[in-house]
Amino acid sequence: MSEKLKGIAASSGVAVAKAYLLVQPDLSFETKNVEDTDHEEARLDDALAASLSELSLIKDKAISSLGEEAAAVFDAHMMVLQDPEMIGQIKETIRAKKTNAEAALKEVTDMFITIFEGMDDNVYMQERAADIKDVTKRVQANLQGVKLPSPALINEEVIIVAEDLTPSETAQLDKKFVKAFVTNIGGKTSHSAIMANTLEIPAVLGTKNITERVTNGQMLAASGLTGEVIIDPTDAEQDEFRKAGAAFEAQKAEWAALKNAETVTADGKHFELAANIGKPADVEGVNANGAEAIGLYRTEFLYMESDHFPTEDEQFEAYKAVLEGMNGKPVVVRTMDIGGDKKLPYFKLPDEMNPFLGWRALRISLSEAGDGMFRTQLRALLRASVYGQLRIMFPMVALVTEFRAAKKILLEEEAKLKAEGVAIADDIEVGIMIEIPAAAMLADQFAKEVDFFSIGTNDLIQYTMASDRMNEQVSYLYQPYNPSILRLINNVVKAAHAEGKWAGMCGAMAGDQTAVPLLMGIGLDEFSMSATSVLQTRALMKKLDSAKMAELADKALTEAATMEEVLALVDDYTK
């Protein structure tokens, strides 16, 4: 009997394939007294050898899919596995304490991890601690005869089933084999959804407990269009899903015809359609989908996919590649937004009650601890500015004084570079994300000082509604069409225009086909979304009349009390 469940449709497309569980196994064990310590040492040697050969396979795979540089992290892991000092201490512990290999491994590696993590200000040591943690898990699994999931080694068509997916796990996925993914947690704006959209992998998130209901190899049908998932689908159900997938692909082919078309409404008004990216390789998709600009480059992925703080030169190369790839079209680069659900293995964030309300993004950059990395990033950006049309954007701004402080640091670094004789473009626009209600309310004052706004609705909605964007229990409060949100957006757009500035949006709402008519009516200038939504949005805008959408927006802003009333108005005006 097939079993149905429902999650949040987070990335379009449909797949039917076997489940591949990407779940961390339980590696708890009992500490035992052993007599035959030679046997325990031999078990340890076997587990180390098995781990080494697994890592070498994963590394080869990573080189072919991600390149030499990205695969270098595995060298560090393999070095840990062969560290004579650490292995010697584990064996010594087995002999001295007459304990099993599992317990000795844990005791010694925990000690190393604690020492390295304690060196708070030493990034290199933080990285070593993260490496040891990662590697120990693999050795522990091999000691216990348990297999760790290795997504990089998948070589048949599968649907990934996981609690959640980290960006580094997602980066290892090979689109040829991974046909979709289904997770327990996350929603439309979680970072796994953003990655899925960029990679064009269908995704259903927030099913609550799919990992408990499915076993490895079981058949699944998943629709990223409706959020439906079927476990053990019947032949008829498989057919139905495959048909829906084919219809979606046909629709995509129709949109593709608009790749080189201008984005104009039925009455001739132009809007700028831009795309969001996470790494230089995404530029290909931006151009393939005919976007007119990059409205958001989330640079934190550069930091998250590395095992160390990216150096100025590494960052310069990435920014230059993006600017060159866009051939003079605008590129909005956002300075790093670490914190919230985005963590770095080599930079310790404090344990916080509410990380989304905590030490995040520009708050880190402007702190003493973050000042160095902020300046490094700004220098890399300024140096890259001559390769295209760069716009710099600061995330998570609440105060005008935060913007001023960030801009001051930017100008200081610019002056230093100029003194060194480095060429820098003279037309770099500097703007901010509007994702905190305080900034949305004070947009008129901000507009006097910034060059542009980009509204980050993923955060703006969670902060306005006081509803965690990762928590599916309160996901009903993620209401882009609520009049309160529309009024904030309207306030921002009008404030920008009053000062002759432009306002864009780079949150998921910008590509939401129901929201687009309202945003057109409000007069948003630039819409930045996952590249895969650009053509669909261009097709929609072509059909709509801007004056009529202005009337729709006016009604929604002045007459509606609920999201449902707004939706009814959109329906009326777009029929």
Q: Residue 273: how many CA atoms within 13 Å on its side-chain side?
A: 31
Determine if 512 is a binding residue for ligand PEP (CB under 6 A): no
CA angle 65, 71, 77 (to 5 degrees): 140
Residue holding tokens 């949109």?
Answer: 255
Residues catalogued as catalytic = 191, 506
Instruction: Report the site for ligand PEP in 418-447 (rule: CB under 6 A).
Output: 435
Strand positions, DSSP E, 192-262: 203-205, 219-223, 228-231
DSSP code, position 145: T
Other CB atoms within 10 A of residue 411 CB:
12
Determine if 464 is a binding residue for ligand PEP (CB under 6 A): no
136 binds, among ligand PEP, Mg ion, none (CB under 5 to 8 A by kind): none
CB contact set of 44 (below 8 Å; sequence gap of 6+)? 87, 90, 91, 94, 101, 104, 105, 139, 143
Strand positions, DSSP E, 282-329: 293-298
Determine if 13 is a binding residue for Mg ion (CB under 5 A): no
Determine if 202 is a binding residue for Mg ion (CB under 5 A): no
Determine if 263 is a binding residue for ligand PEP (CB under 6 A): no
Residue 435 or 512: which CB sits closer to Mg ion? 435
Segment near ligand PEP (CB under 6 A); pick from 103-111, 281-289, 362-370, 451-459: 451-459
User: Which two structure tokens, joined as six digits, stand for 453?
Assistant: 């706004």
CB-CB contact of 25 with 148 (8 Å): yes
Shortest Å distance, C-beta 48 to ligand PEP: 39
Determine if 282 is a binding residue for ligand PEP (CB under 6 A): no
Strand positions, DSSP E, 109-209: 158-162, 178-183, 203-205
What string of H, E and C letters represents the secondary structure of 56-72? HHHHHHHHHHHCHHHHH
Instruction: Report the site for ligand PEP in 161-190 (rule: CB under 6 A).
Output: 189
Residue 447 or 509: which CB sits closer to ligand PEP? 509
Determine if 169 is a binding residue for Mg ion (CB under 5 A): no
Determine if 435 is a binding residue for Mg ion (CB under 5 A): yes
CB contact set of 68 (below 8 Å; sequence gap of 6+)? none
Q: Could you tell me how many residues of this chain bind ligand PEP (CB under 6 A)?
A: 11
Segment near ligand PEP (CB under 6 A); pick from 1-9, 57-65, 282-290, 455-463: 455-463
Bridge-based pairing state of the strands 228-231 and 3-6:
antiparallel
457 binds, among ligand PEP, Mg ion, none (CB under 5 to 8 A by kind): ligand PEP
Determine if 40 is a binding residue for ligand PEP (CB under 6 A): no
Alpha helices in 257-293 (DSSP H): 283-288
Closest to 385 in 3D by CA, of 365, 353, 359, 413? 413
Residue 127 or 337: which CB sits closer to ligand PEP? 337
Residue 102 or 459: which CB sits closer to ligand PEP? 459
Determine if 456 is a binding residue for Mg ion (CB under 5 A): yes
Determine if 526 is a binding residue for Mg ion (CB under 5 A): no
User: Which two structure tokens, joined as six digits, stand for 80?
Assistant: 């840990």
Shortest Å distance, C-beta 157 to ligand PEP: 30
Q: Which helix (H) or strand (E) holds 526?
A: strand 526-530
Determine if 468 is a binding residue for ligand PEP (CB under 6 A): no
Determine if 7 is a binding residue for Mg ion (CB under 5 A): no
Determine if 468 is a binding residue for Mg ion (CB under 5 A): no
Residue facing Mg ion at closest CB distance: 459
Determine if 228 is a binding residue for Mg ion (CB under 5 A): no
Determine if 458 is a binding residue for ligand PEP (CB under 6 A): yes
Closest to 502 in 3D by CA, of 341, 274, 277, 325? 274
Residue 285 or 295: which CB sits closer to ligand PEP? 295
Amino acid (one-letter) located at 147:
K
User: Which two structure tokens, joined as six digits, stand for 408?
Assistant: 């001051």
Shortest Å distance, C-beta 508 to Mg ion: 10
Shortest Å distance, C-beta 393 to Mg ion: 11
Interface residues with Mg ion (CB under 5 A) are 435, 456, 459
Interface residues with ligand PEP (CB under 6 A) are 189, 296, 298, 337, 435, 456-459, 506-507
